[in-house]
């Protein structure tokens, strides 16, 4: 919602000399482009007494500082320049959060168990690619992906393996299908893998070495069954001779280490890095 009293004298396609008033509990106060912005509490906020807002929006002023470099932002936080920070790197959390203000307990580093629904990260197969049409290929890549090594070597054991899109909620599947679930699955029995009815899904685990022999042997067998074999140090299709080409796209630089969790030796499970 936008106030008519403000916009009746302004055109949307023209620059504004002053920040417009919105319908929320805060308005723009002072700011400097590219550096900071301060929000001031609206004293006569129209929805202040609604039950959903009681006890909220208690700060008179909130300031956001902007940093072009996250390392600079972290050092500013450690120096006490601002109060709240979101950290997305397990490596930084394990190695960078230390210094004088931590030693003096001005900043307290503390791990808390999250009891709510979890934000999860996945490696998803692009099912539009013919390579992944065979379930055995997807299973082989899953076996070759060494989460245990990656978590220990790259992420300081910050992550836990998930086995559901709805992890840590009542909606996550657990145990064997009950009677009601079996009734729903019955018409699809010929279209789903038989182990859906006979086993509880768990992602493969490894010895944490980065090259678990048993998992890689299983992966190699599955790839062979799917029509792939190693020739001249390269994994190729037995019929066409085309190489097994696996490309991993990541959205953030912090996700690049995930690529290292899939072994690159063609004798085990061959792959090829994407061109830059």
Condensed to tens digits (0 to 9), the pLDDT of residues 139-188 reads 999 999 999 999 998 889 988 888 888 888 888 888 898 899 999 999 99
Q: Name the DSSP class of 272.
A: -
Least confident of 92-96, 246-250, 263-267, 272-276: 272-276
Residue 222 burial (C-beta neighbours within 10 Å; 0-12, 13-18, 19+): buried
Q: Taking 90 as the threshold, does the pLDDT of residue 130 lie above it?
A: yes
Q: Which residues contact 100 (CB under 8 A, 6 or more apart)?
A: none
CATH architecture of 119-162+204-276: Roll (3.10)
| Token pair belonging to 115 | 């009891």
Q: Which one, of 201, 91, 194, 186, lies nearest residue 142 by Cα?
A: 201
- Where exactly are the structural domains of the chain? 119-162+204-276, 163-202
With residue 65 as reference, give the H or E element that holds it.
strand 61-65
Query: Are the C-beta atoms of residues 47 and 25 closer than 8 Å to each other?
Result: yes
- Is residue 273 very low, low, confident or very high in pLDDT (cuts 50, 70, 90)? very low
- The whole-chain average pLDDT of the chain stands at 87
pTM, two decimal places: 0.71
* Cα pseudo-dihedral 249, 152, 158, 70, rounded to 10: -60
pLDDT tens digits, 22-55 = 889 999 999 998 999 999 999 999 999 999 999 9
Matching residue, tokens 């899109």: 165
3-class SS letters over 142-153: HHHCCHHHHHHH
């Amino acid at each position: 919602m936008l106030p008519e009293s403000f916009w009746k004298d302004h055109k949307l396609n023209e620059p504004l000399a002053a920040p417009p008033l919105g319908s929320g509990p805060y308005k723009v106060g002072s700011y400097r482009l590219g550096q900071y912005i301060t929000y001031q509490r609206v004293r006569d906020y129209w929805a202040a007494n609604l039950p959903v807002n009681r006890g909220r929006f208690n700060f008179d002023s909130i300031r956001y500082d902007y940093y072009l470099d996250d390392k600079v932002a972290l050092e500013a936080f450690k120096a006490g320049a601002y109060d709240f920070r979101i950290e997305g790197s397990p490596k930084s959390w394990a190695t960078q959060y230390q210094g004088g203000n931590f030693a003096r307990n001005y900043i307290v580093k503390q791990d808390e168990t999250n009891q709510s629904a979890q934000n999860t990260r996945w490696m998803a197969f692009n099912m539009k690619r013919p390579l992944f049409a065979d379930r055995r290929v997807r299973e082989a890549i899953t076996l070759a992906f060494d989460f245990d090594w990656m978590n220990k070597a790259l992420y300081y054991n910050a992550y836990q393996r998930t086995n559901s899109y709805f992890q840590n909620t009542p909606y996550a599947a657990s145990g064997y299908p009950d009677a009601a679930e079996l009734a729903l699955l019955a018409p699809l029995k010929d279209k789903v893998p038989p182990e859906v009815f006979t086993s509880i899904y768990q992602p493969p685990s490894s010895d944490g070495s980065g090259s678990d022999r048993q998992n890689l042997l299983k992966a190699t067998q599955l790839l062979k069954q799917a029509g792939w074999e190693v020739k001249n140090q390269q994994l190729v299709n037995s019929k066409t001779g085309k190489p097994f080409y696996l490309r991993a796209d990541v959205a953030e630089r912090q996700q690049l280490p995930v690529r290292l969790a899939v072994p690159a030796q063609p004798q085990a499970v061959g792959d090829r890095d994407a061109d830059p």
